[in-house]
Amino acid sequence: MKKAKRILLLLLVIALLGAGYAYYQYTRQPPDVKTEAAEIKTEAGELVAAFNNDEAAANKIYVEKIISVTGKIADIKIDPTGQATVFLESGDPMASVTCSFYDTEAAAVKNLATGRQVTIKGVCTGKLMDVVLNKCSIVP
């Protein structure tokens, strides 16, 4: 009788732990890239060249990683909806680095100017026409 109770209690604990873990997983937020440190630091030219030379290898190194990229601003776009995007020159006329910012960073992007050198942190999602960075913020 005592044994049965014990087993029951153990099962209950396991079930609770399982439920807790499931709840944690279910409500887990995507990482806040603004507050996390960059795993890799690179330059716009170097980043684009890496994807041009060997996309599969570059995907393994950079994609889904938080990286910081330094480069000269080629263009800035801020949508009426507040969506801010900065393009970095890479030396390759066909490809730049597209940096899509957190909507909350639009105000900071407004202070940037074309031609200026900047370091931007974000999550690399791969190469389309440009190498793309999501969830960007400016590295002070």
Find the part of the chain contacting other proteins (CB under 8 A) among 7-15, 29-37, 40-48, 106-114: 29-37
- Total residues contacting other proteins by CB under 8 A comes to 27
Residue 57 half-sphere exposure toward CB, CA atoms < 13 A: 8
52 binds other proteins (CB under 8 A): no
Measured in degrees and rounded to the nearest 5, phi and psi for residue 112 equal -80, 165
3-state secondary structure (DSSP) of residue 26: helix
3 binds other proteins (CB under 8 A): no
Residue 105 to residue 77: CA distance in whole angstroms: 13
35 binds other proteins (CB under 8 A): no
**CB 133 → other proteins: shortest distance, Å?**
8
137 binds other proteins (CB under 8 A): no
CA 92 to each of CA 47, 52, 121, 131: distance values in angstroms, whole numbers, following the listed order: 11, 10, 21, 12
Task: Summarize as ranges the residues that interact with other proteins (CB under 8 A).
Answer: 25-31, 59, 63-64, 77, 79, 83, 85, 87, 93, 98, 100, 125-130, 132, 134-135
